[in-house]
Amino acid sequence: MLQVPFIRKNKEDVISRLTKRNIDASKMIEDVILFDEERRELQTQLDNTLATSNSLSKDIGNLFKSGKATEANALKEKATQLRDDSKNLTEQLNTKVEALNQLLYKIPNVPHSSVPAGNTDEDNEEIFRQGDIPKLHKNAQPHWELAKKYDIIDFELGNKIAGSGFPVYKGKGARLQRALIAYFLDKNTAAGYNEVQVPHLVNEASGFGTGQLPDKDGQMYHATNVEPSLYLIPTGEVPATNIYRGDLLDESQLPQALTTYTPCFRVEAGSYGAHVRGLNRLHQFDKVEILRVEHPKRSYQALDEMVNHIKGILEELKLPYRILRLCGGDLGFTAALTYDFEVFSTAQNRWLEISSVSNFETFQANRLKLRFKNNDGKNQLCHTLNGSSLALPRVLAGILENYQTEDGIQIPEVLVPYTGFDRI
């Protein structure tokens, strides 16, 4: 969440930049400043009351030592009143702090200056394109038809077991899925990302830490038959980033770079139609994630490094792709700047999003209380970054569709050592 001192110092700029998200945040920002002033006043009153109470306690002790019990007992009534006042002020302060935090939780991150204005994904800015779109044979099919033809992904069986949006990968389809996971992890670890295996359920504090709660509460599967309740993860970003929740790192420990493979679970699978058929949108899917905890001075350099890393993977897979800079209206709640990668599906004649790479600046770190001690001995909030490297369903869809031939599906050369076969 945004820091209150930052809001107070940059009120007009914050309001102005949030308009890129098509939000009029002026009322919320004014309320934040008002609540903070009230919080400060209550804190001052509490500090003064506690100071007076402590001083009075010393006076009472000295009077008793001096044999002046009558005077000491007279002051004890005042001391009791001060303790009651302190209790009431503490309760008021806690209520005000909670109200302030609840308001801050509703305010999204301030977009970076390079974020274009816009309302929908149609306003996103294409900044890069690579790869030739293949020319397919006349009987080319979308991946859901290929999956059925070669018996490698069974959507109907998944529907029988769990419902729509839960496919079953079979035979060479399962092997190809596993090969992609291993390949992505190997590429990430070779680039310096430390691999971790993380829980697939998280507590409420973890959801708040990375900003999924309360913003995406309705999009997460919620296990309420345990105490405390747990959430199935919508992305590996949530548990992996929360590894650092509450940490105070030394500046020499930065950057931190992790990669993780997890299944991901999302309640909302979208509308009906060809654009969400097959692997295009699922309730459960696999994803390999990369994340970084960075010094604020180099986080945008790190973002560029992450973008270039994902470029390299897609170029090895020889898939046609493009990169978009998301407009304010399409920007995620927690992100300051996001680049989306999209692979072109020739069989569907459309672009498929396969990765988002974001810099959250201090937005997540403030929620996580993730700090580092700089060389001057002062504590600073870290910057956090995250990216899909990569989300599997649409990468797999792109491979099946773009690599299809009249007598089967070729396997990208870089994946053959992982699959053990070069054709389906």
Binding residues for L-serine: 235, 266, 289, 386
DSSP characters over 100-168 = HHHHHHTSPPPPPTTPPP-SSGGG-EEEEEESPPP---TT---HHHHHHHTTSEEHHHHHHHT-TT--E
Q: Which of 178, 211, 176 is nearest to 398 (CA)?
A: 176
Strand order from edge to edge, sheet including 230-232: 201-202, 230-232, 222-223
Residue 249 in tokens: 């790192």
Strand partners, 248: 371
Contact yes or no for 364/384 (Cβ under 8 A): yes
Other Cβ atoms less than 10 A from the Cβ of 69: the count is 10
Q: Could you tell me the sign of the dihedral formed by the alpha carbons of 202, 206, 208, 212, in that order?
A: negative
Binding residues for ATP: 266-268, 353-356
φ, ψ of residue 387 in degrees (nearest 5): -155, 150
Annotated binding site: 235, 266-268, 289, 353-356, 386
Q: Give the phi and the psi of residue 284 in degrees, each rounded to 5.
A: -130, 130
CA distance 383 to 57: 45
Is the previous residue joined to 255 through a cis bond, with omega within 30 degrees of 0? yes
